[in-house]
Amino acid sequence: MEFFVSTSAPSRQRTDCAIVGAYDKGVLSETAQALDKRTGGRISRLVKRGDIRGKSGEALLLTDIQGAACERILVVGLGARANFKRKQYRKALASALGALGRTGARDAVSFLGLEQIPDADQYTLARATVEVVANAHYRIPDHKTANKRPKPTLTRFGIAAASRGDRTQVERGIGHGGGIVAGMSLMRDLANHPANVCTPTYLSNAAKALARDHRSVRVRVLNEVECRRLKMGSFLSVTAGTEEPARLIVFEYYGAARSEAPTVLVGKGVTFDTGGISLKPPANMDEMKFDMSGAACVFGTIKAVAELELPINVIGVVPACENMPGGRATKPGDIVKSMSGQTIEVLNTDAEGRLILCDAITYARRFNPDVIIDIATLTGACVVALGSHYAGLFSNDDELSAALRTAGERADDRAWPLPIGEEYADGLKSNFADFANVAGREGGAITAACFLAKFTEGLRWAHLDIAGVAYVGGAQKGSTGRPVPLLVDYLLNKQ
């Protein structure tokens, strides 16, 4: 998709489709009024007939246009003027793209960003526009042999700027939005593949391909022998029951001086999670291919950083493995030793994500990081607590927590802070090891974070539990690409 900036008036804009808005009760926006005047009152007549009501999510396509330079006019409902903010803008634009996708239009120009939106400037709206358009045109990796979805005909999308002075901000938004959607698309591609395709080896090869595409990215892949030499007993305990070899994938991106402390991103890469010996119920187990969404998010964020050529240093660490039952699988009650030297009683083999992340966090210390952020579909308890709207945010550093939360608000990819405390960590006590990998049922997302916190002494660390936001389940299952926007926004504002 090619994006461009337009400063032409709606009536003079040559395009296959001009997108304008109407507020509740058919009140036309200024751009819709301009086109209405040039078309002899065609739009206002449709308002009087009740065909255009301006309700949020509605869209009406006008063809055979006379008097204006465009071939089609798409009037989108914006809802109540007082309530039209960034969230409603995204909804309106998504509705427009749905209607536009049923036409043969090859290019379009949106004038929706010229409306008065109190919580967004031209840069923010342009970035959001690129995300909405690109995500609407995303297609999952297709393994069908017939009835494949046709590719969209739309190839160019214009964003109207109020003046030539706003062009720079709109272009900046387009550029940053392009980097974000490139990362989101990579994350979604990797996560949407079935687990018999996207194995730890596949992820390793995908990492190498990413490095080939971007000279600024270096990749190192450690095999199980190398991980054993590093004494990653916790990580390797998870992969003991499978025939698929585990891999530790390490990205290095240096956009600043090597002396500058990097941000380290650690992503959970369980390419399929059966629960191990603590086997999951069969229903919806197919969705456990998404249990590597944290890893896919690291891939996507590294790609976005490289695309945008950010002047910062970023390291990605991805422990990739399967969690399967088998004759050599770790059993409930087994004790394993982590890379940090601390011992863990594995009471539940389905609490495996924390077992691979703890060794990856310990490994990440060698980069002397400024901060470490781990990303994981870690607990169903977080879904119960926050649903599918917010990621869970845990941190031992208030400044880092606030920065991530603010980034999520700016990116419309929100996270909500949850506590870490000794009261919760007490549930991890063990008679046989330094601590157990699970506590009681209550506060499961919090006790999981407390477990990870035991490996972060002296580090500025945050944990994002993305179990509720990384993918959609059910009949329409698929990866969302979250929280790539949150992380890229954080890194954009850190430089």
Active centre residues (catalytic):
280, 354
Could you tell me how many residues make up the chain? 495
- The whole-angstrom separation of Cα 304 and Cα 99 is 29
Contact 301, 488 (CB under 8 A): yes
Residue 247, beta-bridge partner list:
320
- The whole-angstrom separation of Cα 359 and Cα 290 is 21
- Provide the phi-psi class of 481: left if phi over 0, else alpha when psi is between -120 and 50, else beta: left
Give the pairing type, strands 471-472 and 478-479: antiparallel
Nearest residue to 204 (alpha-carbon basis) of 245, 143, 168, 153:
245
DSSP 19-57: EEEEEGGGEEPHHHHHHHHHTTSHHHHHHHTTS----TT
- The whole-angstrom separation of Cα 164 and Cα 162 is 7
Q: How many helices (H) and strands (E) does the chain have?
A: 15, 21
Helix (H, G, I), strand (E, B) or coil at 404: helix
